[in-house]
Amino acid sequence: MGSVLIRNVLLLTMNPQREVFDAGAVVIEDDTIAYAGSEPNPLSRCDEIIDGQGGILMPGMVNAHTHAAMVAFRSLADDVPDRLQRYIFPLEKKLVDRRLVAAASRYAIAEMLLGGVTAFCDMYYFEDETAKVAKDIGIRAVLGETVINFPSPDSPVPYGGLEYCARFIPQWKGDALITPAVAPHAIYSVDAPHLQECSRLAKRFGTPLTIHLAEMDYETEQCLKQHNMTPVRYLDSLKILDDACIAAHVINADAQDIELIKARKTGVSHNPGANAKGAKGVAPAAEMYRQGIKIGLGTDGPMSGNTLDVLTQISLTGKIHKLYHHDRALFPAVELVEMGTLGGARALGLDRLIGSIEAGKKADLVLLETESFNMRPRYDPYSVIAYSANPGNVDSVWVNGNAAVRSGKLASADSTKIKYDFSALQAEIREYLKNCG
């Protein structure tokens, strides 16, 4: 890969001092950041010098929870009550296979990269297909194979995801970009013995475990009735809530739950867009952030939140929580940007590698152009990112030192072919729905 100098940028490091360099520069050596700070004079001798043209260079954004391949079903049944049971599960049973997961994941990953996402945490089926696509395009990913209590698209028997995980994890353990994981769907769709088996499998391989937790009202009601515990305390009683656990949503959590999550050093993905669209409630994200919990931002599946970019989630987090708490000072823009970058890296256990721009960390970077009308003036660059920027302002993206996006165009894959293959999927899904009436 050689060496690359990115110069003439406003550099937001998100390092412990939250240093900002008005005339900043970054030097990449192969896959690693070798230098980050004020522009050197004279310029470093590098194989490539990139003029950032006064843009904002920031850490790559982290999508801490999604179901990437569900992009194939985006915009279907958006307003159907109890959509998970009545619509999503039956649709997946009929249509999801290896080919769909590969083509849809490729499309979703392209969309994420173009929106400045350099790492994501996924929970779905046929995760080995997603792994191959992610590796090919060049994005960092924590990929959780779903374990659930009914036959799934990639298993003819309930809980077949466990056996799938046992094959999938060794194939990808130790990869530079891919972190395989175990993904029990939720406490209402995986019983206690199988939840514990998932935990044992994750511990055996030293991989993360990701789960939907405290998301649904019926989940909480059922858990209180059956176990006299909240979902968070129930998961902890099974010895699953730990520093390798990534909990998605965590909407219905009380003060004791938050203390437990903090004590166990569990990662949390806050998904404001999907939570709001699904009318599920406002998670206590502000209190979790205040308590120092490892909390990042996620889009949830593109059938739930409809977007895959973290810039949208950064903005929604600020607006929703300011409104809900009637507090305009809540979540200053710098904290929102931190949640979308370093916060997500912490939640996924990747903060030693990514999440801030510091020498020695991996070169996962995003350059936002600031020539567009919506990006000026930039008195406070954090506010520009949180409340003005959109995915269209993403100029360049590097993952592990490799250019994935250049001048707003996908550089690591053929976008025309990705769209063509995805269009073929859409035609097949439309035909299926037409025949179903």
Q: What is the pLDDT of residues 414-429, one digit of tens each?
A: 999 999 999 999 998 8
pLDDT of residue 108: 98
For residue 315, the Cα-to-chain-centroid distance in whole angstroms is: 15
Cis omega (within 30 of 0) for bond into 156 = no
How does residue 149 score in pLDDT terms, banded at 50, 70 and 90? very high
Among 296, 324, 347, the domain-final residue is 347
Per the prediction, the chain carries an average pLDDT of 96
pLDDT of residue 437: 59
Contacts of residue 391, Cβ cutoff 8 Å, sequence gap at least 6:
114, 115, 116, 309, 311, 312
Among 347, 377, 396, the domain-final residue is 347
Residue 262 lies in a domain: yes
Residue 177 lies in a domain: yes
Same domain as 166, residue 46: no
- Quick check: 92 pLDDT over 90? no
How does residue 127 score in pLDDT terms, banded at 50, 70 and 90? very high
* First-last CA distance in the chain: 53
Same domain as 391, residue 325: no
Instruction: Please give the residue range of the domain that contains residue 26.
Output: 3-59+357-410
Q: What would the mean pLDDT of 113-133 be, rounded to a whole number?
A: 98
Residue 393 lies in a domain: yes
pLDDT of residue 299: 98
- Quick check: 40 pLDDT over 90? no
pLDDT of residue 90: 83
E-strand stretches of 271-392: 294-297, 365-368
pLDDT of residue 43: 76
Same domain as 211, residue 280: yes
Q: What percent of the chain has pLDDT over 90?
A: 91
How many domains does the chain contain in total?
A: 2
What is the domain-level CATH number for residue 247? Answer: 3.20.20.140
Same domain as 76, residue 35: no
Helices (H), 291-347: 310-325, 333-338, 344-347
- Inter-residue contact 118 to 340 (CB < 8 Å): no
Q: What is the pLDDT of residues 301-333, one digit of tens each?
A: 998 999 999 999 999 999 999 999 999 999 999
- Quick check: 434 pLDDT over 90? no
Same domain as 87, residue 23: no
Q: What is the pLDDT of residues 208-259, one digit of tens each?
A: 999 999 999 999 999 999 999 999 999 999 999 999 999 999 999 999 999 9
Alpha-carbon separation of residue 197 from 185, 209, 237 (angstroms):
13, 11, 14
Any idea of the CA torsion for 107, 112, 116, 121, to the nearest 10 degrees? -140
Same domain as 329, residue 394: no
